[in-house]
Chains A and B, each alone.
Chain A
Amino acid sequence: MTEASTKQVAASREAEELATRPKIVGASVKRTEDPRLLTGKGAYVDDRKAAGMLHVAFRRSDHSHALIKSIDCSAARKADGVVAVFTAEDMSEVNAVFATSRMKNYYATPITGLATDKVRYVGEPVVGVIARSRYLAEDALELLDIAYEPLAVVIDPEEAAKPSSALLHEEAGTNVLCSREFKTGDAEAAIANAAVRVSGRFRFHRKTPTAMENRTYLAEYEPGRDELTLYTSSQVPGIIRDALSDALDMPGSQLRVIAPDVGGGFGGKASLYPEEIFVAFAARRLGCAVKWTSDRMEDLAATSQGFDQIVDAELALDAAGNAVALKAEVIGDVGAYSIYPWTAVIEPVQVVSFLPGPYKIANYHGRVRGVATSKPPTGPYRGVGRPTSTFVTERLMDMAAQRLGMDPVALRLRNMIQPDEFPHRIGSGIIWDQCAFTECLNAACAQVDYPNLRARQAEARAAGRWFGIGVACYAELTGIGSRISVAPGMPINTGTETAKIAIDSTGAVTAAFGVTAMGQGLETTLAQVVAEHLGGRVKDIRVIQGDSAAVPNATGSYASRSAVLAGGAATLAAKEVKEKIIRAASHLLETAPEDLIVEDGKVSVVGTDRALTFRQLARAVYLEMGRIPADKREELTSTKTYDPVFGTSATAAHLAVVEINPDTYEIKLERFVVAEDCGRLINPMIVDGQVHGGVAQGIGAALYEEVVYNDEGQNVTASLVDYIIPTATEVPPIDVVHIEAESVTTLNGFRGMGEGGTIGAPAAVANAVADAVAPLGIDILELPISPERLFRLIENSKNHKDPSHGHET
């Protein structure tokens, strides 16, 4: 045996041990899905082939805003291999879907499979061609003749908000699809009387989630039973099932939505899409299987985008550095439609909801408007609003520290909600249950030896180097329960999840959930939770997820909820099954229940070698009649729903170290540290991986990623040559420090953590870049900060123009 394979065996033995030892929650168990996913044996929607399957290609709008005058499909219908060509007219029996909300000042736009009468962004699907192959379908697209009457372009959100603007949705009477205001105290008066005021017009540019797997939908249809199964690369199969039931007038019993292996989501797969409605409709209409796989161009043109906000904000402090007031006016560019089910409200409102962040600020006034423009709808994207709110507040903190001549860490520690001050209600009304603000910041600083790092910076500066250090602190709400809506006023329940655990007659354990993994390792972490509370072994527990038929009601994975909610439900159900195991074993082994222990997949009598494996036990319960009295026999199953009611929070401090080349303005990240509290860790290795991925996306937001629409409403970043995301070479080593302050409000003390990396990193990087160029008198108010924008800021400051503006003028 070679040394490498000896090591491998040793490593797998070690993993085996971890996977079977009693304390399973908290162990870095290797991801059980990885052997499948990493060797190309995953089964994504596009891997699935149904007999007689047809393929869809969409003709998408090349106009930003236009009336559809006529569509001539005759030539396309005759093209080689084409089976059908559908327009909105053909879909009249399909009901439009509306993302309704109880919120005032909100307009819900209709969502349909294909554009009806009018197109509202470049890339909106107008005609669906269905052919024997995708190649033939795309060839036929060129034969479609669509006449448009162009309308005034609605592309700048500030212009679009004006009454004089052309309207995307005439029925709404305005492009302002939503507005909201939060007020605590008297921010205006406090600002007027404050010793120190810092302010800026902050710009966070539009991003797209760019999951590795593009969106893919396959609808299979059984005409004899009128049964439709949609395989979808979705984070929310339960939500899609319910929405399609309304759209197609089909009962849930005939409609099943399955998300198999899903290759990344980041929020971009958490909404209902027109293409999903279309594929389901077409399969039912044609009576056969229909598949659509997005290509990258379509993904960049039509998957929900995010983070597109303009924030005018001002922070006021007293002379000692105590923050007294925060005021913000936010415009969110929400794109052309209010996305289902989250509404156009979700992201812009989260910006004003989270702006006060981890700080005690007595007076707060935040106003927000969500404005429709001719761009794809914005939807949830990892972090949702909080990357922007954290960027703004954390930049203001650094600007204030600079003005006061204080260290930015010291200023933060002074203003943070202290450990003994929880629960704490911030100015927007959010209540932090128990957050580790100061603990995280202190831990991040300790990890880098902060005083020493500042000394290194002083040396570097003296040598003419541009060296910067940036921190960012935040909290987010995670694992929220039924009393808080993920999006304000949204009528669907996002506060519960259900687990169905069964030991079958072979002794095998199946745990079924309505949540969905998009790569975050739920098959492992949920198995760990089940194993711990059931007394099973991780490797023996088959986790089923992403299937709307698995449980009566579920939504899916979004808003950092699955570990808390599905983990909670798993705990409740596993405990009940374990009680049933003990009761059955008590009969079989003729032992008092308190003398039995269940672990490693068997139940044993304490202090003896008498034991039953799950297999032996299950055979006795299900097959060997008479061993347990008939009236005492119980199925070894449990279905439990968990509702954390209010839910919890998660906290982190991010610290970035950058060096900028003073000649070329290239920005290099030297180091990145995250100190985070996601409560009790289920699997530290998986948490690290989630943090790394989130930080990489946050670095993208800070330095690289920007969806750009030109004045004609054309997306000029329609390929990955122009929409650039960080690769491994652009991401520095990331240290993760775990605080592990258990949540007091959730079962098991878990907190959600999947989004956090993306929330802190943009602000930390922005602060580090700003710190590096501080000697030049430059502020960073716009992300991403590219070498080009830095060049312009520096040129402007040399010419004594406005040094805060990175736009080309």
Chain B
Amino acid sequence: MKPPPFDYFAADCIEAAIQALADAGGDGKIIAGGQSLMPMLNFRLLRPSILIDINRIPDLAYVRDDGDEIRIGPLTRHRILETSDLIAKQFPVLHEAMGYVAHLAIRNRGTIGGSLSHADPAAELPMMSLLLDARLEVQSNAGRRTIEARDFFLGALTTALEDGDMLVEVRLPKLREETGWAFEEVARRSGDFALASVAVIMDSDGDWVSDIRIGMMGVGETPMRATEAENILTGQRYSEAAVAATVDAIRAAVEPNTDLHASADYRRHLVGILAQQALAKAWDRSRRASR
């Protein structure tokens, strides 16, 4: 388990990093926390010609309040997000989810840019970016552009990033303070990849659900939004029957994989249970907040 030979370049600015990426012609790989990349190198699953280290680029790790949005630097470690007061206040659902990201040692090194670029379908941050309608800022030699999270995840470990692209910022539009939320996950052991997970953010208006977003992971090739289920519940009076219909829609929509740890059937069962629990919690929180 030793990596194949590669060149190494420590970039001191974003421009140098993307230039090195461009020079590598698709064979370069950016290394940030290395928590997924290093094992893949050691298994020789990846053979980049060059590793471009962005850890020494100044000012790539931050969580900033920017009016309507929170802006997060790509080199921000999971542990910083987990312990950020700003995140806890603006996105309590993200704050909660961060505690489920692997183990503390991994959270100390792993970065948001790395996690999103790696795009594991059972990882929390890709799902959170989808739930929170993140805008992903991407830079290459051709310039800078924004990719919406919903357009970013194309398949397992596959994103809309092109060869010369580097993810340079994550922007999260703020939620209303009264927005209800919930994050539910089942894994084999604490810190393992989710067998299934559901996150909900919900706004209520009296007995009515005025707005809802449901994110899921571990139940498909990418993290997913339960779009049909969201449509069923939006504008509806919150009721057991409405929740049941939502859960049915979720179970019908997912096409989970069978692997060593869980069958597709069990994952489908789980995602429904977790959705039920998450909906109840988010509803409760939104009602309590608006009282």
Contacts and interface: CB of A to CB of B under 8 A. Distances in A.
B250 to A, nearest CB: 15
A795 B268 CA distance: 13
Contact of A726 (B189, B193, B270): B189
A704 interface: yes
A71 interface: no
Contacts of B142: none
Contact of A791 (B5, B191, B266): B266
Which range contains the number of B residues in contact with the other chain? Answer: 20 to 34
A295 B261 CA distance: 24
Given A795-B265, A808-B263, A139 B188 contact: no
Given A664-B186, A729-B190, A791-B269, A135 B2 contact: yes
Contacts of B3: 135
Interface in A296-326: 296-297
A788 B2 contact: no
A418 interface: no
A255 to B, nearest CB: 31
B262 interface: yes
A796 to B, nearest CB: 11
A164 interface: no
Interface string A772-809: 00000000000000111001100100000000000010
Interface string B181-193: 0000010111111
Contact of A704 (B1, B186, B188, B266): B188
B189 A730 contact: yes
B260 interface: yes
Contacts, number: 63
Interface string A655-676: 0000000011110000000000
B189 A727 contact: yes
Contact of B260 (A297, A708, A792): A708
B4 interface: yes
Contacts of A730: 189-190
Given A787-B262, A788-B261, A788-B266, A724 B189 contact: yes
A138 B2 contact: yes
Given A722-B260, A787-B262, A787-B266, A666 B186 contact: yes
A60 to B, nearest CB: 12
Contacts of A296: 1
Contact of B1 (A297, A666, A726, A791): A297
A46 B260 CA distance: 33
B273 interface: yes
Contacts of A795: 265
A788 B263 contact: yes
A186 B106 CA distance: 60
Nearest to A662: B273
Interface in B1-60: 1-5, 43
A702 to B, nearest CB: 14
Which range contains the number of A residues in contact with the other chain? Answer: 20 to 34
Interface in A262-299: 295-297
A192 interface: no
Interface string A723-736: 01011011000000
Interface string A73-87: 000000000000000
A207 to B, nearest CB: 15
B1 A664 contact: no
A613 interface: no
A295 B266 contact: no
Given A295-B1, A297-B1, A717-B260, A791 B188 contact: no
Interface in B199-253: none
B218 to A, nearest CB: 13
B189 A704 contact: yes
B4 A139 contact: yes
B243 to A, nearest CB: 14
A400 B260 CA distance: 33
B262 A788 contact: yes
A606 interface: no
B265 A791 contact: yes
A382 interface: no
B199 to A, nearest CB: 16
Contacts of B266: 665, 787-788, 791-792
Nearest to B264: A808
Interface string B74-113: 0000000000000000000000000000000000000000
A704 B189 CA distance: 9
Contacts of B260: 708, 716-717, 722
Contact of B273 (A134, A663, A716, A786): A663
A296 B266 CA distance: 30
B261 A664 contact: no
Given A664-B273, A724-B189, A730-B190, A792 B1 contact: no
B1 A724 contact: no
A451 B41 CA distance: 56
A666 B194 CA distance: 13
Nearest to A723: B260
Q: Which of B5, B192, B260 has the most CB of A within 10 A?
A: B260
B18 to A, nearest CB: 29
Nearest to A795: B265
B232 to A, nearest CB: 22
B280 to A, nearest CB: 12
Interface string A132-149: 001100110010000000
Given A724-B192, A788-B266, A792-B266, 8 more contacts: A138-B1, A664-B273, A704-B189, A716-B260, A722-B261, A724-B189, A788-B263, A791-B266
Minimum-distance CB pairs A-B, first 3? A295-B1, A729-B190, A791-B266
17 contacts: A135-B5, A138-B1, A139-B5, A142-B4, A295-B1, A664-B186, A665-B266, A721-B193, A726-B189, A727-B190, A729-B190, A787-B188, A787-B195, A787-B266, A792-B266, A795-B265, A808-B258
Interface of B: 1-5, 43, 186, 188-193, 195, 258, 260-263, 265-266, 269-270, 273-274, 277
Interface of A: 134-135, 138-139, 142, 295-297, 663-666, 704, 708, 716-717, 721-722, 724, 726-727, 729-730, 786-788, 791-792, 795, 808
